[in-house]
Amino acid sequence: MKKVLKVSFEVMFLLTALAVLIVLCVGIYSLTVLKVDLDISAITDNNLTIDVFNSENLLLKENNSFNGVNIKLEYLPEHTKNAFISIEDKDFYKHSGINAKRMVKAFVNNLKNMKIVEGASTITQQLIKNTHLSNEKTFTRKINEISLAVQLEKKMSKNQILENYLNTIYFGNNCYGIENASQYYFSQSAKDLDISQSALLAGIIKSPNYNSPTKQPERSLKRRNLVLSEMLEDKKITKEQYNAEKVKKLDLVLNKTIKNKLNSYSQSAIDEAMDILKMPEKQIAIGEYKIFTYQDMERQTAFENTIKNFEIGNDFALIDIEAKTGNVLAFLGKSDYKILDFKRQPGSIIKPILVYAPAINENIISPATQILDEPLSIDGYTPHNINDNYSGYVSAREALSKSLNIPAVKTATYVGLEKINYYANQLEIDLDSKDKNYALALGGMTYGTNLQTLAGAYTALANGGVYCQPKFVYYITTKDGVVVYKNPQITKQVFRDDTAYLATDILKTCAKTGTAKKLADLPFEVASKTGTVGTKTTNLDAYNVSYTTKDIVGVWFGNMDNKSIDTVGGNMPTMIAKNFLKNIYKTKKPAKFAKPHSVEEIEIDLTEIEENHNVVRANTLTPTRYKTKEVFSRFNLPKENSNAFLINPTILTGKVKNNKAILTFNANNYLDYELYKIINDKTILVKTFSTEKGTIEVFDDIVQNKKVSYYIISKLEGESETSSAKSNIVNLLNTKNNVDTKAKDKWYI
């Protein structure tokens, strides 16, 4: 027993010594190299804005002020205050800004795990971090944080610190401060929060994105219940209250008054800047950073004017990306949620970029490749076409332009899941570890993706195979004009240039005669793909991505709460894309897609496709109506020439019956036939045949006791005599033996 007490005493002594050492280090450091001064106004100032500029360096007119509503601590329920203290800083009213014992415990745990698994920041430290410092995990920042927290405890009372903390912290979805969060998530003042609501909000702040009640409801509830258990442990709620509150559902009543700001161009740029600078929005505002973007006012205005022409009763988002750079030129959305923060199922919009372009790039298919559209089952996965309609053999061009499901899945099996994952990674489309099945070919993903990522992936088709990472932010400066970030414009060659051209050429067909045919009358080249996601009875998401050599336009329709929509990708989303493209190209049309040297146009034999489903070159004898032009990669040209039109002499047979010559031969529909007879040394044309196929039987009157000879000339349609062949000669003689005498004796003849 004495030994145990001795060891315990030694451990406590070491921990205490370590805590004292930390405090001494902080003191020494703060007296010598402290880099940040305490600024009380940074803590108490509510009226903050962030300056965001467009491509012409003009200030965006969108409202970027925030956190303008505070609430006095005395108006908050006790259980609300207790929820935050229990989960964030149990000793808040006991320490002097830092909790040395907690810091040592966190240090030991982090050392044990060889990584940072536990923090030790007090509420005071968090307030300092949120108003004075960046989020970078450095020793310098931590020492500054500790030193300033100690100073703040001398300037403000505990209740003042707690009040400013609750009015400053970030709750996700652009909500700074508990009053804003309560108004957004529950449409009520923070003074009316109940225990469950208070615990939910307290649970968000550790990781607002990960614990978001709108994006991750299950995680949010799990975190809420952890807060409730901590409150129970601290005797801030009773066992009965705990049992009652932990089973409550996530009853959000979202405030719809801030939805436009959530999905504005400027807010999207600010969100991107937060990721770049690794600091929350309020720190960006306090630091007076200036954000310069790629927004094109002409295109942004065109989006706004386009939407005015449509009655849209659901959530939507529109994005315009410059094809050759990835720069986001315009963005507009409407929802109670930040649309670009959410992942949605992409549906058929994924087919060109994860199925057909990879298959072309791997030399597996060409636009002319024949694929059998039929009922299919792969290891229990049974995809279906719309209304279970199947078309038999179709070309890859037709399959993609009409968005047939079975050919897409079959093509995906040719490519393989490993390659599909590779191309998804190259195009920065995040796939979950569970996305290892061929439902991917139809956009079936565990979590999905967002419109910015989808439209960005199409840069690789519009830009000669080169992917350009889509970005809102061009550069960021300090208030003094010092550039702290400039977009490196990440690009990479994902597909060959021939692949990009061939996929684009197919999607031009989609815009002419396929699912996006509402674009057919645009007076310039446009490639397009549509997508619709839903169940057997309702539609949930509808997409259109249309692109020219200059712009990639993405349109999404849906509802974040998964209410049904009454449109499909080929209808209103395509019409919106069309309206927008017409507006921005009123005065100057975009250039055509240039055919690279790696693409060759080849004449192929249609009869071989129809009869044997093979893609072969037409030969010199192939009639015009039995050949068509198709584009191919020079790395994957047809390897065979057609032998269908090599003319062999036709075999003619004949007999005489009842004073008639009966002549028979087999016809090919790509040949013309001329039937001749020779009588009295005179050659006479009996009949001609064109586009006939199969067994042909001809009757010709023949005089008794006269010898008649017959033969056939077969030749290619419209060709010269050199492309012809003469059949065998059939000699016939009509005698009395050829007359059916029994038939003549019948009374009814």
Two structure tokens written together for 251: 């009853």
pLDDT in tens, 82-100: 999 999 999 999 998 888 7
Contact assessment for residue 106 and residue 120, using Cβ atoms and an 8 Å cutoff: yes
User: Do residues 235 and 340 both lie within one domain?
Assistant: no
φ/ψ of residue 16, rounded to 5: -65, -45
Q: Among residues of the chain, what percentage have pLDDT more than 70?
A: 88
pLDDT in tens, 72-85: 999 999 999 999 99
pLDDT computed for residue 65 by the predictor: 66
Whether 112 has a pLDDT exceeding 80, the answer reads no
Query: Is residue 102 included in any domain, yes or no?
Result: yes
User: Do residues 36 and 169 both lie within one domain?
Assistant: yes
Task: Please compute, for residue 260, the number of CA atoms within 13 A of its CA located in the half-sphere on the CB side.
Answer: 5
Q: Which of 248-252, 521-525, 559-563, 733-737 has the lowest mean pLDDT?
A: 733-737
User: Do residues 405 and 541 both lie within one domain?
Assistant: yes
Contact assessment for residue 647 and residue 621, using Cβ atoms and an 8 Å cutoff: yes
Whether 8 has a pLDDT exceeding 70, the answer reads no
Which region, left, alpha or beta, applies to residue 64 given φ > 0 means left and ψ of -120 to 50 means alpha?
A: alpha
User: Do residues 220 and 333 both lie within one domain?
Assistant: no
User: Do residues 336 and 407 both lie within one domain?
Assistant: yes
Q: What is the mean pLDDT of residues 129-149?
A: 78
Number of H helices, E strands in the chain: 26, 25
CATH for 372 = 3.40.710.10
Rounded Cα distance, 502 and 399, in Å: 14
CATH for 717 = 2.60.40.10
Classified as helix, coil or strand, 704 is: strand
pLDDT in tens, 213-243: 988 899 999 999 999 999 999 999 999 999 9
CATH for 173 = 1.10.3810.10
DSSP tag of 352: I
User: Do residues 239 and 117 both lie within one domain?
Assistant: yes
Q: What is the mean pLDDT of residues 31-43?
A: 69
User: Do residues 629 and 674 both lie within one domain?
Assistant: no
pLDDT in tens, 465-505: 999 999 999 999 999 999 999 999 999 999 999 999 999 99
The two most distant CA atoms of the chain are separated, in Å, by 139
Contact assessment for residue 251 and residue 269, using Cβ atoms and an 8 Å cutoff: no
Query: Is residue 274 included in any domain, yes or no?
Result: no
Query: Is residue 272 included in any domain, yes or no?
Result: no
User: Do residues 547 and 674 both lie within one domain?
Assistant: no
Range of the domain at 607: 599-633
Going by pLDDT thresholds of 50, 70 and 90, the confidence category of residue 331 is: very high
Going by pLDDT thresholds of 50, 70 and 90, the confidence category of residue 738 is: low
Query: Is residue 405 included in any domain, yes or no?
Result: yes
Rounded Cα distance, 350 and 461, in Å: 13
DSSP tag of 494: -
Query: Is residue 281 included in any domain, yes or no?
Result: no
User: Do residues 617 and 551 both lie within one domain?
Assistant: no
Query: Is residue 271 included in any domain, yes or no?
Result: no
CA 302 to chain centre: 23
Q: Where are the alpha helices (DSSP H) in 168-258?
A: 178-186, 195-204, 217-233, 239-245
Contact assessment for residue 471 and residue 330, using Cβ atoms and an 8 Å cutoff: no
Query: Is residue 727 included in any domain, yes or no?
Result: yes
> What's the structural domain count of the chain?
4
Quickly list DSSP for 146-192: HHHHHHHHHHS-HHHHHHHHHTT-B-STT-BSHHHHHHHHHSS-GGG
The residue with greater pLDDT, 138 or 501, is 501
Whether 26 has a pLDDT exceeding 70, the answer reads no
Contact assessment for residue 476 and residue 272, using Cβ atoms and an 8 Å cutoff: no
User: Do residues 610 and 580 both lie within one domain?
Assistant: no
User: Do residues 458 and 553 both lie within one domain?
Assistant: yes
The tokens 């706004």 sit on which residue? 304
Two structure tokens written together for 294: 């790629």
Query: Is residue 642 included in any domain, yes or no?
Result: no
pLDDT in tens, 696-722: 999 999 888 888 999 999 887 665 545
**What are the b/e assignments for 362-392, b being 16+ CB within 10 Å?**
eebbbbbbbbebeebeeeeeebebeeeebbe
Contact assessment for residue 134 and residue 141, using Cβ atoms and an 8 Å cutoff: yes
**Closest among 336, 73, 69 to 215, alpha carbons compared:** 336
Going by pLDDT thresholds of 50, 70 and 90, the confidence category of residue 38 is: confident
**Closest among 418, 494, 431, 428 to 461, alpha carbons compared:** 494
Rounded Cα distance, 174 and 192, in Å: 21
User: Do residues 578 and 664 both lie within one domain?
Assistant: no
